[in-house]
């Protein structure tokens, strides 16, 4: 019997499957195959982006799986080269063509890189929802102050801020602010690019549960209100094993031990165009 990712997060009026399948750095036939495998295995949330240059392969994998479009959640992200309103519209049309779908469930601005005000770009993003190209809109990599500004412009429309989040990066302030706004935090790089497999605290808790560090980390993330996680996997075995993370119940003591690993200095993703982090 196929497992399915049944745990969900409600963000405003949008229901997001809490465990998603990330496709960053998956390319070519590997990407196509893993998207098919993920959907056939029961994942109901696929995450991609224009800059990953794999939307076409994601679309092919979706077609190969034959999964009913209404039964899974699809996210893509607009790259900042396309933030000028007319370019944004064209880029979204191109993304949909590559993904072989009429709409995505969630459309994000990938990074807060603006030549002037963010308002024209956010208004162009909202128009994509009005035109039915996406069911919901959100942002990614926005700081607390940028989040506030974006919400001032868009009202109650934004459903998530997709940011780096794992046991080594303290995101408590962002979590609190998003909770106040009834928005989700979507965690990318949730396994800290493999760093969790070297951590004694996480690996010891995993040993006691008879699972691996990835499953414990996902249990820690998905056990937090309002958190969605999108781990990438390049193997069927790991993609399937990640399901267990949604099923594991950690004790308060175990959660507290993992909480202590986080710090503001734990960030791993910090490109030259990144904002001045909070």
Residues assigned a catalytic role: 52
Decide: 213 and 202 in contact? Cβ < 8 Å.
Answer: yes
The DSSP symbol for 249 reads P
Sign, Cα dihedral of 199, 201, 207, 211: negative
Tokens at residue 29, please? 């036939």
Burial class (CB in 10 A: 0-12, 13-18, 19+), 129: middle
C-alpha distances (whole Å) from 126 to each of 119, 142, 169, 261 are 11, 17, 31, 38
Q: Read off φ and ψ for residue 55, nearest 5 degrees.
A: -60, -35
Question: Pick from 117, 106, 123, 119: which is nearest to 160 by CA?
Answer: 106
C-alpha span between 33 and 27 (Å, rounded): 10
Q: Are strands 158-164 and 134-140 parallel, antiparallel or unpaired?
A: parallel
Kind plus residue range of the DSSP H or E element containing 122: helix 119-130
- Taking phi first (over 0 means left), then psi (-120 to 50 degrees means alpha), and beta for anything else, what does residue 32 get? alpha
């Amino acid at each position: 019997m196929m497992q399915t990712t049944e745990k969900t997060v409600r963000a405003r009026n949008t229901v997001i499957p809490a465990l998603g399948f990330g496709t960053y750095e998956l390319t070519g036939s590997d990407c196509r195959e893993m998207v098919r495998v993920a959907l056939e295995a029961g994942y109901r949330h696929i995450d991609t982006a224009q800059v990953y240059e794999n939307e076409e392969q994601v679309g092919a994998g979706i077609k190969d799986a034959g999964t009913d479009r209404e039964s899974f959640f699809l996210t893509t992200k607009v790259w900042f080269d396309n933030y000028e309103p007319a370019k944004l519209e064209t880029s979204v049309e191109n993304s949909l063509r590559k993904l072989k779908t009429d709409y995505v469930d969630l459309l994000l601005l990938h990074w807060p890189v603006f030549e002037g005000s963010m308002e024209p770009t956010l208004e162009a993003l909202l128009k994509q929802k009005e035109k039915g190209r996406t069911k919901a809109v959100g942002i990614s990599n926005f700081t607390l102050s940028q989040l506030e500004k974006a919400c001032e412009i868009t009202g109650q429309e934004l459903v998530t801020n997709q940011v780096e989040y794992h046991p080594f990066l303290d995101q408590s302030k962002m979590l609190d602010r998003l909770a106040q706004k009834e928005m989700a935090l979507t965690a990318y790089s949730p396994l800290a690019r493999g760093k969790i497999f070297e951590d004694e605290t996480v690996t010891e808790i995993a040993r006691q549960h008879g699972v691996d560090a990835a499953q414990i980390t996902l249990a820690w993330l998905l056990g937090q209100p309002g958190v969605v996680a999108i781990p990438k996997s390049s193997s069927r075995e790991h993609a399937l094993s990640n399901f267990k993370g949604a099923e594991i119940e950690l004790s308060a003591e175990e959660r507290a031990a993992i909480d202590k690993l986080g710090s503001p200095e734990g960030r791993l993703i910090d490109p030259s165009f990144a904002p001045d982090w909070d």
